Chains A and B, each alone.
Chain A
Amino acid sequence: MAVSVISITGKGLNVSSLTSKSFIERLIQEDYKFFTGVPCSLLSGLIYELEDQNCEVRYVPSVREDAAVGLCVGAYLAGTMPVLLMQNSGLGYCLNAFTSLNLIYKIPALVIMSWRGKAGKDAPEHIIMGDIDQELLKTAGMEYSILSEENCEEVLKKAKQKICNEKLPYTLIVEKGLFDERR
């Protein structure tokens, strides 16, 4: 397990120390308090941190990505800011939920979506979605950023603005290697 070092400065998290643990702590600090999703190996470190018995927030393992969208909607309606973690393969399942629920009801969520199939280098089942997932988000009018150590603070701020002001879901795309993978 990676040793995490969190260092909070006046400007927030020191970006050179982005780990699964520090990122989850940062999200909690940003008042995201309800987490659900369907796992991806690229997000496994994050989910381990959420399932840690000392973690102060709830992670609800969802059976499907669209059901996780429903859970997030319920949490938001009840006053708790939700986070949905999923692989990009789940985006197809979620599109109807996003378009006929979140986008028309103005119900936001932070979506953390792993990017399998990047640049055509992955297992066959990931290649097409890896190529079109960002186009799908754009077509649906859903903004996103590709998360990195360097832009973490900036995109969290942007996501918060979208979520709080425009009440729209915002997606952070996670590439392989950004967070540690655990089994």
Chain B
Amino acid sequence: MKGAEAFQELIPLIKDEPVVHANGFICRESFTLKDRKANFYMIGSMGLASSIGLGVALCKPDKKVIVIDGDGNVLMAMGTLAMIAAEAPENLIHVVIDNEVYESTGSQRSISSKVRLEEVARSTGYKNVLRVEKREEIKAAFLKLKGSAGPNFLLIKVEPGFDPATGRVTHTPEEITDRFMQAIA
């Protein structure tokens, strides 16, 4: 499955939940497919989508919070997996689109082909951890995790192959802040 197919499957399953997106093609795919006010597009600060999501989840315990992360981001902030497991917010779902490359910068290899990130998450103490490799498995896995107390982790293995013609986030960073805050207030 291509990364774009994973998004086509995943995005319609998101209702009114706040979603924090990692930088790079994660932001761009989601923005292009369906822009939402409750989407926080993190265009820089690689590695921090997970800690931003944790901060939102801890301060909004009544809302399910979704982080859509990438393998490069998770590898950069592996300690944050431990922090999420330690704080253990029941309302956090951490989705990782794992294409084993840094695709936005020219598809240099990441090391997630050799390290199973979902096993790292499991061993830190995430409550429920699933790994899917087929498009048709995404819906059931995501809905199961959404319906179970977290923190939960979904790893979606995809092939590289991001379409460079995919749009870029057109909102200014300040606009992203304002509309996200209003949407989740």
Contacts and interface: CB of A to CB of B under 8 A. Distances in A.
B177 A74 contact: no
Contacts of A85: none
A106 B173 contact: yes
A66 B47 CA distance: 9
Contacts of B184: 77-78
Given A104-B173, A105-B176, A69 B48 contact: yes
A65 to B, nearest CB: 11
A142 to B, nearest CB: 15
Contacts of B59: 34, 74-75, 78-80
Interface in A81-120: 82, 96-97, 99-101, 104-107
Nearest to B87: A60
Given A73-B55, A82-B55, A67 B177 contact: no
Interface residues of B, number: 35
Contacts of B53: 74
Q: Which of A67, A74, A104 has the most CB of B within 10 A?
A: A74
Interface residues of A, number: 32
Given A71-B54, A74-B54, A97-B45, A63 B173 contact: no
B83 A63 contact: yes
Contacts of B60: 78-79
A72 B177 contact: no
Nearest to B183: A77
A64 interface: yes
B10 interface: no
Contact of A63 (B40, B49, B79, B176): B79
A157 interface: no
A62 interface: yes
Contact of A107 (B57, B82, B177, B185): B177
B83 A74 contact: no
Interface of A: 34, 58, 60-64, 66-80, 82, 96-97, 99-101, 104-107
- For the complex of A and B, the 7 pairs showing the least CB-CB separation, nearest first, are A74-B55, A100-B44, A70-B51, A63-B79, A78-B59, A70-B48, A101-B45
